[in-house]
Amino acid sequence: MTTMFIQLRRVVFPLALLLCWLCTVHAQETKGADQGVTGGGAVVEINREKAMRAFWGIPNRTRDEIKDDESLKNVYEGFWMAAWNVIMAVNGSDVLFANGTTCAAEWEKVIAANKKMVEDAAEDTKKITKLIKDVDAIMKEDWVKGDGKEKEKILRLKITTRDDEFWKLVGEIREVLRETKGKVPDAVALSKIEEAEQTRLFCTIVDRNVKYRLQELDKHLEALNFTSGGEFVKSRTAVEVKNAGDGVREVLHNVTNIIANATVHNRFAVGEAKDRVKAWRRAFELIELVGGMKDVEPVVGGKQGELEAIKGEVEERRQTIERLVNGSVDETKARGEKAVKEVNDRIEKASAVEVRRVEADVERVAEDERRKAEERKRAEEERKREAEQEKIRLAKEQEKIRRAKEEREREARNREQKAREEEERRALDEKARKAVEEEKAKRMAEEKAKKAKSKDGSSSPALVHSSLLLILLCVLGCALVC
């Protein structure tokens, strides 16, 4: 007993964990659907403008142009091949982007259609599901030998089932059949499920293509960096190629994320649609078996006709849904091929539209970059013009300042010259004044002296001269005698 319990525990515990995981993921799906997040809570989105600029940044160079690029040869002779491999890996990435975004968009459409179908039929599905549980509660399936060699499935009442429980179930069956009349899953419902499956298949193929391209790109980017020893910065072309590869790689990673989010995150919606069909099939099967019960005496008694009426009422509905689900090979194949063609045509057209849109967006980015380049060029020319004008203005200003300085210096020299001349003039005037004053003083002194002599009787100048003349005459006379 203990051994059996341990074995059961080993089975039940993993199942319980799996159930918890499914419930958690389903809850996260419901919560994240409006928020645009994955089941893990991470935001999945693509910055379209950034993606377009990444595609615009792909070098438009031929193999020969890359091979003959001198900046690549400056690193080492064969370096150009590593750069060329990266260019080859990023070429066509815009188409992968278009296919990926188209796939995600189309998947969202078919998911929305399936969700609406499930939501519209939620009440009826709830009734059908409850009916299945009620049948299983009082009856059990069994197999008996039929008219042929194969066994037939029948329903038997459980030992504990009471008469009133059985007839209550019969009443519930008749009520459910009445309320759900005309609401059986039809060809449209099944086609929506098939469209979802085909869209998922398309997304899977696109996802594989994108992931393969990513692997190639990662490999060549690693080779570009490894073979150059990190010296690709010496080459402008190599830097351009690496930047383009890094940008495209980020975009393609985001594409795989949105595809994964579309196909994994919303897979439960398709599952619910499938479960709805399964529930109706199971319910009709059980109802038909209830209607075909013959060995329920004395429970049935004389009311066998009521059960046969139920069987007759449900038989056509069951055949309809079975024919859709398990029809002939030709019917199933035709319906599948129709769904495949419709989905492929729709996705092909949508992809073509998206490719043209991407091309237009890349061209818009290119035009925007050209405009910005022209604006930068005009701004640079304007800056140079303004700088030249400023240079001229400063030169004129310096010339003006120089002239003003020279004028001030000239005026200063003139003032100094005038000051010197004025000083010299004043000095001469002072000297002349002093000379005049001295002469005046001298005359006054002489006059004063003369006046003094006149007063004390001293010889006059005439007498003094007469004595001198007498002496001179004597000398001359002696000279003549000798």
pLDDT the model gives residue 246 = 92
Mean pLDDT across the stretch 217-243? Answer: 79
Confidence band for 95, pLDDT divided at 50, 70 and 90? very high
- SS3 of 151, please? strand
User: Residue 356: which pLDDT band, with cuts at 50, 70 and 90?
Assistant: very high
Q: Is 223 exposed, middle or buried (0-12, 13-18, 19+ CB in 10 A)?
A: middle
For residue 30, the model assigns a pLDDT of 33
Bond preceding residue 185 cis, omega within 30 of 0:
no
- At residue 143, the 3 state secondary structure works out as strand
For residues 2-8, give the mean pLDDT. Answer: 33
List pLDDT tens digits, range 131-171. 899 989 988 888 877 666 677 788 888 888 888 888 888 88
pLDDT-derived band at 28 (thresholds 50, 70, 90) equals: very low
Residue 194: what residue type? E
Name residue 225's amino acid: N
Residue 147: inside a domain, yes or no? yes
What pLDDT score was predicted for residue 185?
Answer: 80
Map tokens 């790109």 to a residue: 217
Judge whether 10 lies within some domain: no
Tell me the average pLDDT across 108-127: 85
| Residues 264, 108 contacting (CB under 8 angstroms) | no
pLDDT single digits (tens) 174-220? 888 888 888 778 777 877 888 888 888 888 999 999 999 999 999 98
**Does 129 map to a domain?**
yes
Q: What mean pLDDT do residues 263-276 have?
A: 75
Cα–Cα distance measured from residue 17 to residue 34, given in angstroms and rounded to the nearest whole number: 27
Q: What separation in angstroms does the CA of 96 have from each of 91, 92, 240, 253, 318? A: 10, 7, 22, 11, 45
Report pLDDT for 456. 58
**Residue 269 falls inside a structural domain:** yes
pLDDT of residue 91: 92
The token duo for 311 is 């069987």
Instruction: Express each pLDDT in 294-338 by its tens digit.
Output: 665 555 556 777 788 888 888 888 887 777 777 655 666 777 788
Residue 177: which residues within 8 A CB-CB, separation 6 or more? 287, 310, 313, 314
Does 395 fall in a domain?
A: no
pLDDT at 66: 83
- Cα dihedral sign, 3-8-11-16: negative
Percent of the chain with pLDDT over 90: 15
What is the rounded distance in angstroms from the CA atom of residue 25 to the CA atom of residue 40?
8
- Provide the pLDDT confidence category of residue 436 given band limits of 50, 70 and 90: confident
User: Average pLDDT, stretch 450-460?
Assistant: 64
Q: Which residues, at least 6 apart from 186, have a Cβ–Cβ distance to it below 8 Å?
A: 320, 324
Residue 260 · residue 207 · CB < 8 Å: yes
Task: Output the average pLDDT for the chain.
Answer: 78
Residue 71 in any domain: the answer is: yes
Tracing tokens 């499914």 back to the chain, one arrives at 22
Backbone φ, ψ for residue 153 (5° rounding): -85, 135
What kind and span of H or E run contains 214? helix 187-228
pLDDT band at 455 (very low <50, low <70, confident <90, very high): low
- What tokens were used for 170? 């019969």
Higher per-residue pLDDT: 264 or 319: 319
In a domain, 101, yes or no: yes
Token readout for 26 is 């389903």
Mean pLDDT of 388-395: 90
Task: Using the predicted structure, report yes or no on whether residue 460 has a pLDDT greater than 60.
Answer: no
CA dihedral 439, 441, 446, 447 (to 10 degrees): 110
Three-class secondary structure assignment of 25-69: HHHHHHHHHHHCECCCCCECCCCHHHHHHHHHCCCCCCHHHHHCC
Task: Give the total residue count for the chain.
Answer: 482
Cis omega before residue 298 (within 30°)?
Answer: yes
Neighbours of 107 (CB within 10 A): 26
pLDDT(124) > 70? yes
Q: Domain for residue 480, yes or no?
A: no
Q: Look-up: residue for tokens 């298949």?
A: 201
Higher-confidence residue of 63 and 298: namely: 63
Strands 151-157 and 139-145: antiparallel
CA distances from 171 to 157, 167, 300, 302 (A): 16, 6, 13, 16
Say what the pLDDT of residue 297 is: 54
The angle formed by the CA atoms of residues 350, 354 and 360, to the nearest 5 degrees, is 150
Whether residue 26 has pLDDT greater than 50: no
Task: Look at phi and psi of residue 367 and say left if phi exceeds 0, alpha if psi is from -120 to 50, else beta.
Answer: alpha
**The total number of structural domains that make up the chain:** 1
Residue 318: which domain range?
42-364
- Identify the burial level of 98 via C-beta atoms within 10 angstroms of its C-beta, where 0-12 means exposed, 13-18 middle and 19 or more buried: buried
Q: Are residues 151 and 164 in contact, defined by beta-carbon separation less than 8 angstroms?
A: no
| 8 has pLDDT over 60 | no
Q: How many CA atoms lie within 13 A of 65 on its CB side?
A: 7
